[in-house]
Amino acid sequence: MAHIAHNPDARPDYKTTVELGAVLPQTAEVRDGHLYIGGLDTVALAQEYGTALYVMDETHIRTQLRNFLEWTRYHWKDVDVAFAGKAFLCRAMCQLVAEEGCYLDVASGGELACALAAGFPPEHILAHGNNKTIRELTEAIDAGVGRIVVDSFEELARVNALATERAQSQAVLIRVTPGIVADTHAYIQTGGEDSKFGFGLANGLALRAITEALELDGIELVGLHMHIGSQIFALNSYAKAIEVIVHFMDTVRTETGFTVAELDTGGGLGIAYGVPDEPATIKQFGKVIVDDIKEHCEQHGLPVPHIIVEPGRSVAANAGVTLYTVGTIKRIPEVRTYVAVDGGMTDNIRTALYDAHYEAVIANRADAPRDSIVTVAGKHCESGDIVLIDAPIQTPVLGDVLCVFGTGAYCQSMASNYNKQVRPAVVFVRDGAARLVVRRETYEDLMRCDVG
């Protein structure tokens, strides 16, 4: 396939599963040749729940959330951690996030509905989106969400009108684009001047939005929000953005008399999809975010605001794996070996969309060296339907269970029904127990909305 680039460096790496380190869920281990997560045999999970299957390590998710709380509050007590629901959301996840004492960032009416159905406290919800509909704004205000993150002048007017009609005033953050281009894939950069998100600082729009917000009775301006991108490895992108935004907070105070009481620095911390990836740790992230805000606020004589961080991927991605059953194996002489699985771009669009890279193992021979180079293809009618390109795995045979790591974020949440594929179930595993939190779709589900 011309557009699936060959990786000339692809070689068996002879690593066994346990050597994949940070790519693995924290409770991953190999027992009698099988991959275990949360104390459970993934091969048995595949048999019990069927494949394709998302398996999430609950301990991993909880540990990540606790680490974010610990390593941000270590530097400043007044910090909250909001899990970015777009990375992975279902009712069980909302409940888990609430149990860990974290906030939730929702980016649509659907995400808000899921959080409310899970009983998530609305005052701990931040409502995001660059084009929230009137219905979504109404639902957010009526639910009593803690913050609406305002993204445009139209939205400021709409929130004001809706809140005023209800004789209320809605707490808002103004989303600003600090003009920092983070070192990541262009599709997931969001903090530059040329962005559909937020108000620019350099062009004066952010200051104008604040000035307008302060005049509106239905708006209770609390502070600012920024999000510079996703899968960010270089923490200095955050440091630069914080310097710029705190400088702006000083300008705001001088120009309007308003003191920013809350600063949300968004998400974006990168993770290890592959063995060579060395993302910053949560501890390093916490130090840069909080210490830099404190330091710049002191320099400008500003009070240190309530800080919010919004991690998504770094909480959920490495917690999750996708289990597939190996189907046809096509060895095309001098071209490549295609291993087809019972899923693909419908449960993981990230390879097709971003050239994402994943590590995988055969879960039922997890202690064997990864001695074959294969391209793992999905089952859909699209030649770009690829999960792994020229990747090392144990030599596969029909019926093996293939486990792809790092799929806990932006896979289930971006899944589709292309080819009328039913979307996989999600199982949470912890301490030797599994619980089904999202069941597999049925053919009836696929036609539930057909009314003709």
> Rule CB under 6 A: which residues touch ligand LLP?
84, 86-87, 105, 128, 188, 227, 230-231, 266-269, 310-314, 350, 354, 410
Residue nearer to ligand LLP on the CB measure, 173 or 219: 173
Question: Catalytic residue among 381, 403, 411, 449, which?
Answer: 381
The 3-state DSSP class for residue 136 equals: helix
Least distance (Å) from ligand LLP to the CB of residue 131? 13
DSSP string for 318-331? GGEEEEEEEEEEEE
d(Cα 271, Cα 358) in Å, to the nearest integer?
Answer: 12
CB nearer ligand LLP, residue 269 or residue 321: 269
Q: Give the nearest distance from C-beta 147 to ligand LLP in angstroms.
A: 12
Helix and strand tally (H, E) in the chain?
A: 13, 21
**Catalytic-residue membership of 449:** no
Q: With respect to ligand LLP, which residue has the nearer C-beta, 266 or 396?
A: 266
Question: Least separation, in Å, of the C-beta of 195 and ligand LLP?
Answer: 11
**Among residues 258, 235, 206, which one has the least CA distance to residue 309?**
235
Which three-class secondary structure state does DSSP give residue 115?
helix
Q: How far is the CB of 411 from ligand LLP (least distance, A)?
A: 8
Q: How far apart are CA 127 and CA 122, in angstroms?
A: 10
User: Which one-letter amino acid corresponds to residue 130?
Assistant: N
Q: How far is the CB of 171 from ligand LLP (least distance, A)?
A: 17
CA distance 312 to 102: 12
In 3D, which of 294, 385, 301, 272 has the Cα closest to residue 338?
A: 385
Q: Is the peptide bond before 52 cis (omega within 30 degrees of 0)?
A: yes
- At which residue do the structure tokens 């959920």 appear? 316
**Which CB, 296 or 313, lies closer to ligand LLP?**
313
- The one-letter code for the residue type at 382 is E
Give the residue numbers marked as catalytic: 381
